Chain A
């Protein structure tokens, strides 16, 4: 009986350790979902008149800065569907800019001119 109970305790201890590892692991996995942009944006959603300006600026920036040329010019050329300024060497083909084969159309977002990738 003594053997049995110590076996039980060992099982129990192993179970406890496994359980804590599971909780830790679950948190790691969940963190990916918790800290993504989508959730941050939802938490922020407001529409106060005095707040709107600041809010929106954040929306634009949080959504876009990753693809904005001044921040990541080199990366932007190949991956961005929105550019805030054109990289060097783009060719103007009757209103559409050809940047190394990727074509961008200039459009206004508010008072800012942005370049949106043209998809055929």
Chain B
């Protein structure tokens, strides 16, 4: 009797012990899986160690486009696109826009953009950025680095400002585009607005992007699509380029901002102000 009782007790103990173990494990698993992914530096390093699998053809076509864009001292294009935003209820919201972009290397940029009822111009004259809202007649200015590449980085990082298709107006788009790429494929021929193009598809850990490049002696980008994979809703950014002019008539006045009559100067929002404002809203 004593023997069987201790046996039962032992079984019960084991049962309880294993249940507790199971519970602890399942909870810690949930905690661990909810933790943020490894810091960015680790991702960068680990991706750099991987050899990207890029089709020779895809690589060549992208390089040709990049070299062609690099060779241009001045160019202008129109871009028409849309971006999807994920709202708090996880629904996607699409916004369309149109813009004219004028580039004068090494250090001038002008963008006229319109989205819905809003219209704004962005100026970079080699020493400062200006954003001018046309309908509201208000503008903001900030000092800018001396080259277009540095200016594009600074505009995006400090002012949250980036012209549509900015990836393609760096001095060497090839290098920038292939950062982080793990796979690149040639997907055949497709027509974009009646123009014969090569379609290339690239994948990185966070985004998939496709680019359509014009066939022939002017390998210009005609369409560019980015899908973000790091959100379950996979929002897309899409842009089509048209009216490419590789020998535009540009003058300094286009890049130099002169405040219109009765316009009002305001500030750019600083990251800290935005953070505080968000805090206050909650």
Contacts and interface: CB of A to CB of B under 8 A. Distances in A.
Contacts of A30: 27, 30-31, 34
B42 to A, nearest CB: 12
Interface stretch (B15-23, B69-77, B190-198): B15-23
Interface string B1-39: 100110011001001100110010011001100101100
Contacts of B140: 107-108
B9 A116 contact: no
B269 A107 contact: yes
Contacts, number: 188
B177 A50 contact: yes
Contact of A117 (B86, B179, B280): B280
A13 B11 CA distance: 13
Contacts of B83: 53-54, 57
B65 interface: no
A16 interface: yes
B4 to A, nearest CB: 8
B131 interface: yes
Contact of A111 (B88, B131, B170): B131
Interface in B154-196: 156, 159-162, 166-167, 170, 176-177, 179-180
A49 B177 contact: yes
A4 B85 CA distance: 64
18 contacts: A12-B12, A37-B88, A45-B40, A46-B206, A47-B40, A53-B156, A54-B236, A56-B160, A60-B160, A63-B278, A65-B87, A71-B87, A81-B280, A107-B269, A108-B268, A109-B160, A109-B274, A113-B136
Given A50-B167, A57-B235, 12 more contacts: A16-B15, A30-B27, A44-B231, A47-B40, A49-B177, A61-B87, A62-B87, A67-B281, A95-B264, A108-B266, A109-B268, A113-B136
